[in-house]
Chain A
Amino acid sequence: MLRWSAQETGRTIDFSGIVDTTVAPGIAGGAELVALARAAIGHDVDAVPAQKVASVIGPDAAVRAAAVAGAFELYNRIVDATGLPVGRVQRERLADVVETLGLDEFPHAGHGV
């Protein structure tokens, strides 16, 4: 989805910015959005990283980013709980992203192939 959106809208994304905080993803607020998403996974109940996002790309975007982070905490759980397969075609289409992000190291990497 990320690569599709970027390609179709003429944006250039550096996927390594997802896993390496020293690399800017290359979109407005990219580093702040990655920081917010990382905070979503962590357990720091005092963190309000959305304020950093808001300072760069606005409060409405910050709230939506927080919502998306919540949504993917949901999606990740329901697909891993049900063994939803990733098909061979999709894997092949995303081979470069899989390599950049190291996805083959993940527990369910081989499922559905």
Chain B
Amino acid sequence: MFDFAESPFDIPQSIADMCRRTWEDLAEPGTTWTGADRIAIAERARDTRLDRDGETAELPPAAVDVVDLMSGAPATTSREWIDGVVAELGEQAYLEIVGIVARVVAIDTFTRLVGVAPEPFPEASPGPAVAEPPPAKARKGKAWVNMAGFPVPPNVLSLVPKAQRATNLTAETLYMTGAQMESPDTTIDTLHRTQIEVVATTVSHGNECFY
């Protein structure tokens, strides 16, 4: 899994390890969804992102709506839409889907850019979802969902601690760690911070992401 043998590039071990760990995590029971549900969410996210029809295992209609919108048109979310799907699914279930879709799109994007076909998803692990209580001090503030801590990307999924930890691992491995973010003069794998931010800004602009 994720041997990157097709790629013309040498892939850093840290990235390959993170990809494998992410796929293993997707297959495990989550906080609100089973392993089978999570793989179904991942498969639909990939199919939607690639504009292809696929067989989607049974998911609630609201969950399908979330996967489709988050995969294909994330900037079209609104407070009203989020309130609606949260009312149907529950806030933790909504955020768990967001974390799965975001990680799948991130890793599929990376693999495609380095010349590798999408990695097949693993077989789901059996067993029910394992509930984890949300942080006691979570609040919305001006955001549209509850979160604990400062309203910054590493905390936005914090209502589902397992999802937040997994998402932060993917993001930090692909982008940079919090410590590296402190320096405007960081160079990672010969790419300077300014070059890194050109890529980041272009992707965000293409996704019409104001943040």
Footprint of B on A, CB under 8 Å? 1-2, 4-9, 11, 13, 15, 17-19, 25, 27-30, 33-34, 36-41, 43, 45, 47-51, 54, 57-86, 101, 103, 106-109, 111-112
Knowing A50-B113, A70-B107, A72-B200, say if A81 contacts B205 (CB, 8 Å): no
The complex places the Cα of A41 from the Cα of B207 at a distance, in Å, of 7
The complex places the Cα of A107 from the Cα of B156 at a distance, in Å, of 19
Interface residues of B in 192-211 (CB under 8 A from A): 192-211
Smallest Cβ distance from B134 to chain A, in angstroms? 14
Write out the residue numbers on chain B whose beta carbons fall within 8 Å of the beta carbon of A8: 184-185
Write out the residue numbers on chain A whose beta carbons fall within 8 Å of the beta carbon of B74: 76-77, 80-81
Chain B residue nearest in CB terms to A98? B210
B211–A9 touching, CB < 8 Å: no
The complex places the Cα of A95 from the Cα of B105 at a distance, in Å, of 30
Instruction: Write 27 A-B pairs (CB below 8 A) sorted by A numbering.
Output: A2-B201, A5-B196, A9-B185, A33-B195, A33-B199, A37-B202, A50-B9, A62-B114, A63-B10, A63-B12, A65-B199, A66-B113, A67-B175, A69-B110, A69-B203, A71-B170, A71-B200, A72-B200, A73-B203, A74-B103, A74-B171, A79-B153, A83-B145, A85-B151, A86-B211, A106-B208, A109-B210
A60–B210 touching, CB < 8 Å: no
Smallest Cβ distance from A35 to chain B, in angstroms? 9
B208–A57 touching, CB < 8 Å: no
Knowing A40-B113, A74-B106, say if A18 contacts B77 (CB, 8 Å): no
Chain A residue nearest in CB terms to B109? A70
Write out the residue numbers on chain A whose beta carbons fall within 8 Å of the beta carbon of B112: 40, 45, 47
A82 contact from B75, B143, B207, Cβ within 8 A: B143
Contacts beyond the supplied A1-B200, A57-B190, A79-B153: 10 A-B pairs with Cβ under 8 Å: A5-B184, A5-B196, A38-B206, A41-B206, A62-B9, A69-B113, A69-B203, A78-B99, A79-B156, A83-B144
- How many residues of B are in contact with the other chain, CB < 8 A? 76
Knowing A51-B8, A70-B110, A74-B103, say if A18 contacts B202 (CB, 8 Å): yes
Interface check B98, CB cutoff 8 A: yes
Write out the residue numbers on chain B whose beta carbons fall within 8 Å of the beta carbon of A74: 102-103, 105-106, 167, 170-171, 174
B195 contact from A28, A76, A111, Cβ within 8 A: A28
- Encode B58-92 as 1/0 by CB contact (under 8 A) with A: 00000000000010001111110010000000000
Write out the residue numbers on chain B whose beta carbons fall within 8 Å of the beta carbon of A101: 201, 205
Interface check B101, CB cutoff 8 A: yes
The complex places the Cα of A106 from the Cα of B209 at a distance, in Å, of 7
Smallest Cβ distance from B202 to chain A, in angstroms? 3
Smallest Cβ distance from A84 to chain B, in angstroms? 6
Chain A residue nearest in CB terms to B170? A74
A2–B200 touching, CB < 8 Å: yes
- Encode B14-48 as 1/0 by CB contact (under 8 A) with A: 01000000000000000000000000000000000
